[in-house]
Chain A
Amino acid sequence: MTPEKAVFAAILVCMGGAVMSLGAARRRILAGWLAFTAASVSAVLVGWAACQVLVVGPSADRWAMRMMPKLGITLGLHVDGLTAVFLALASILAMPTALYSIAYMPRHREYGVARYYPSFLLLLAATYGLVSATDMMWILCVLWQLMTLGGYLLIGFENRNAQSVRAANRYLLLSELACVATMGGAALLATGGGASKHEFDTISANLPALLTDSPVMAAAALALLCLGFGIKMGVWPFGQWWIPDAYVALPSPAAALAAAVTCKTGVYGVMRSLLWLVPPEGWPHYPVGRWGMVVATLGTITLFTGTMQALKQEQSKRLLAFHSIGQIGYMLLGIGACMAVLATPGPEAQALAAAAFVGALLHAVNHGLFKGLLFLNAGSMLYATDTQDLNKLGGLMRLMPLTGLTAIIASFSISGVPLFNGFVSKWAIYTGAVQAGGSVHYLPVCAVIAILTSALTLASFIKFFGTSFLSRSSDWVSGRAAGRGGLEVGPLMQIPQVFLAGMCLFVGLTPATTLGVLQTALRASDQGYGRLLAAAAPTAGGPLSGAGTPGISVYMPLAVAVVLGVMFIVGRRLSRLGAAPRRSAEPWLCGYVREAECHRYTAHNFYGEIKRYFRWLGGVPRRSSRGPAD
């Protein structure tokens, strides 16, 4: 079986699963297990395809099932290294989110699951297809419609909730707009004739001529493609229009899937069309530096606005949704930096470009892991406490320790704390962006904004984690926990969280392994600039050694971890030196006997100054009934 057939089989399995779960929708648990089975089988198939490509290499002839040659349609699928990375991500996320759904969906008891599981599988199938389709016109359109349909049904899942319906409608509108833009771009690029004129390879072969003859047309076409994929992944300003409302409306596991995997199809599309599409013959006429500037600038704006708006949020899933926009910005910055540097010839510049690109690619994977986990955490909190409002939460750590532990791993990962996975990818992006400063003068400034934003991300997640899991139990939480020992969710919801947290730690502690896989993937993706990036990709040694670009950067997480661990033991020993007795007591409230609910310091009160300074940036939550902040 070729990888392409495996992907096609996975899509068919998902479709079959969708029909079956629709049929079994009256029995919620059965439908859930059916959907899980379908998702698992498809994940195994797709994972196998990805492994096959990485180990053996992509299949030589591009397997195409000719469907309607008269209309110019071929159902072309091809799995190369770049596709394999995104397929692997989808396959890692599919099973946990599907498993989580089974235990989570009883929360929405008043709504039938007939809209949920089939749409979930549609979304998954569309994602598999979108990252492996080679036909940029009709097949892309069909898959895009499939994704839009799945997304629309999932966002509008609570169809008696006006807000959800509005969010779903807005998503529908923007997604269709994106589809039209992408198709328009492909139509402009398809200058050749014949049945396969919309095939990626044909377009790529004809592109050099187009770039020399009518560069404006080529630029417009690429811009349209980027617009379409940009809307999908949520680049500023489109992301702010649909992502926050949509992710709040999505049931949590579906939000995890959408944020972690489906929106990556946009990232994939941008990488494919800006870097892989142009063959070496077209490079002299391709303004790669200028495109890099556009993408890097958009990325920087996206990461700053998204994160700054996230800082203002007080609803758990809304906060995460804005961070999704912010994190997409990092990926765009990486891609943009890579392209901007590629305009400079020479092996050193290419090494930096490769570092930035690998950073962006790794960040796409990492974001999938930690954002998927965070949405599952938010789902567990929602499941246990029935509220998304961080102001009402507090002290959950004691009541749901496992969710709390995974949440802090995810929070540290997304904030880029060393030893966690988010750091590795950001570090690689900074390597490219800062060291390219000699030739591309604006990139270090972009990198500084990204570092600043990373601190803001940390601030935001300190608030997210701190006010919900640490701090003190609110009346709301105490009320929920009363009569029950704890609020911890069941094993079906715990296993996916633990699995994803483990993945975050694994990637964070042994980045060389993951970077090595990405390097192999680039080598197996031998087209356009991909070839160049594969040759210059940062070196990665064995699993225990560090990673880095020779002479420029070095990061050996295990060494840092060992030193940190030894120092931790030193600290612990030191604190036990005096054999001081330990006692627990109530906090001192400066004379007040008991803390009243209205005196709790809640999420709303955090970071008053920063929020005031950046009020003009918008994204302020609608509900603000509390008094002014500190």
Chain B
Amino acid sequence: MPRELPWMLLGSLLNAGMVLLLAPLGEGVVRKITARIQSRQGPPVLQPYFDLLKLLGKEDIESGQWPWAQRFAAYLALAASLTVAALLPMGFAAPLNRGADIIVLIYLLTLCGVCTLLAGLAAGSTYSLIGISREMMMMSLEPVLAIALLVGAVHARTFHLDAVLGGAVYAAGGVPWSGLIMLGVVTGCFQALVQRLPFDISEAETEIMEGPLMEYSGPKLALFKYASMCRMILYASLFVGLFIPWGSGLAFPLGWLVFWVKVGAVVLAVTLVAATHARYRVDQAVRYFAGLLLLAVAALVLATYGW
């Protein structure tokens, strides 16, 4: 292992760097487009970078009874997101391809959510706790994505990251029914995975004031915001890896560029949906997800029969 480790680390840092670099840009584009759809001017596209820089210099107010937990949650939130980046192929093989498989990926994605929960719990205000209770309910629905990965894994007959995240969902004999169903299902719940409207129930600014993050300010808030922006890019990458594999296999600079173009396209699509929908209530969202989950399980069964 020690011999492979430097390369793993280098690749991971490269992926993480790209995500850190592009995440605020994605957010800026999202804000701009949302504003235009709602007939507003909107902030400049680079505004999220300035926001983050500003937050990093602001006073850091800790309201929890045990601030260590708050600090830990903030650092871990970004760290977990960036570790996920190391597990995704972003124009070239996933850096941690030989150190983790898709089961690790599924559970690491959950870990990203856990940090927000810990943050809310550590702050301990009633509003944060309502937020984390809601957030956890959203996370319980994350298995939809897990099923999409498993459909790929069943088709690919392996859990290896590169094999599954290379369009394996379509690797069926004849019409790839399971892959197509999963494409529909994941598209249907993508907004919830990246916690955008109409599924940003756990933050719900108008009801519970940002939920879990209500008590956070300054650098810690910057980290959480940054992690949330990264989340968008990461899930878009995951979506591209799972469902839009075409062109990613090209030689290094070309395939890499194609990959980021595709990610950009997914982010744009997300924005269009988010800007035109109102937030669901918790019970509406749960019912919607229950339907999607059943559909996803059906797709998995189809996949086991080789369809």
Contacts and interface: CB of A to CB of B under 8 A. Distances in A.
* A and B co-occur in one complex: yes
* B: interface residue count bin: 35 or more
Nearest to B75: A571
B133 A435 contact: no
B159 A431 contact: yes
Interface in B53-109: 53, 56-67, 69, 74-80, 82-83, 86, 95-96, 98-101, 103-104, 106-108
Contacts of A401: 66
Interface string B271-290: 00000000000110010001
Nearest to A311: B140
Contacts of B99: 546, 554-556, 559-560, 563
B218 A580 contact: yes
Contacts of B42: none
Interface stretch (B26-34, B120-128, B191-199, B249-257): B120-128
Nearest to B111: A417
A571 B74 contact: yes
A228 interface: no
Contacts of B23: none
Contact of B57 (A448, A566, A578, A613): A578
Given A434-B154, A470-B66, A570 B300 contact: no
A418 interface: yes
A590 interface: yes
A559 B5 contact: yes
A170 interface: no
A601 B157 contact: no
A570 B78 CA distance: 9
Contacts of B154: 434-435, 437-438, 444
Contact of A395 (B80, B124, B126, B133): B124
B69 A397 contact: yes
Given A398-B66, A418-B104, A556-B1, A455 B218 contact: no
A556 B98 contact: yes
Given A572-B75, A609-B283, A553 B133 contact: no
Contacts of A595: 125-126
Interface in A541-580: 544-546, 548, 551-556, 558-560, 562-568, 570-572, 574-580
A206 interface: no
Interface residues of A, number: 88
B103 A431 contact: yes
Nearest to B125: A587
Contact of B114 (A395, A417, A472, A590): A417
A466 B107 CA distance: 20
Q: Is the interface of A mostly helix, strand, loop or mixed?
A: helix
29 contacts: A397-B66, A398-B65, A418-B108, A427-B104, A431-B159, A444-B150, A444-B303, A451-B143, A456-B140, A462-B117, A462-B121, A462-B132, A465-B121, A470-B124, A546-B1, A554-B159, A556-B98, A560-B96, A560-B108, A563-B12, A564-B80, A567-B79, A568-B75, A576-B219, A581-B60, A582-B59, A585-B62, A601-B133, A610-B286
Given A444-B301, A588-B215, 20 more contacts: A416-B107, A435-B154, A448-B300, A452-B146, A466-B118, A470-B66, A554-B101, A559-B100, A567-B79, A567-B86, A575-B75, A575-B220, A577-B56, A580-B57, A583-B62, A585-B63, A587-B128, A595-B126, A601-B130, A605-B129
Interface of B: 1-2, 4-5, 8-9, 12-13, 16, 53, 56-67, 69, 74-80, 82-83, 86, 95-96, 98-101, 103-104, 106-108, 110-111, 114, 117-118, 121-130, 132-134, 136-137, 139-140, 142-143, 146-147, 150, 153-154, 157-160, 209, 214-215, 218-220, 222-223, 226, 282-283, 286, 290, 297, 300-301, 303-306
Interface of A: 394-395, 397-398, 401, 416-418, 423, 427, 430-431, 434-435, 437-438, 441, 444-445, 447-448, 451-452, 454-456, 458-459, 462, 465-467, 470-473, 544-546, 548, 551-556, 558-560, 562-568, 570-572, 574-590, 595, 599-601, 605-610, 613, 630
The list of the 3 closest CB pairs from A to B, nearest first, reads A559-B99, A578-B57, A601-B129
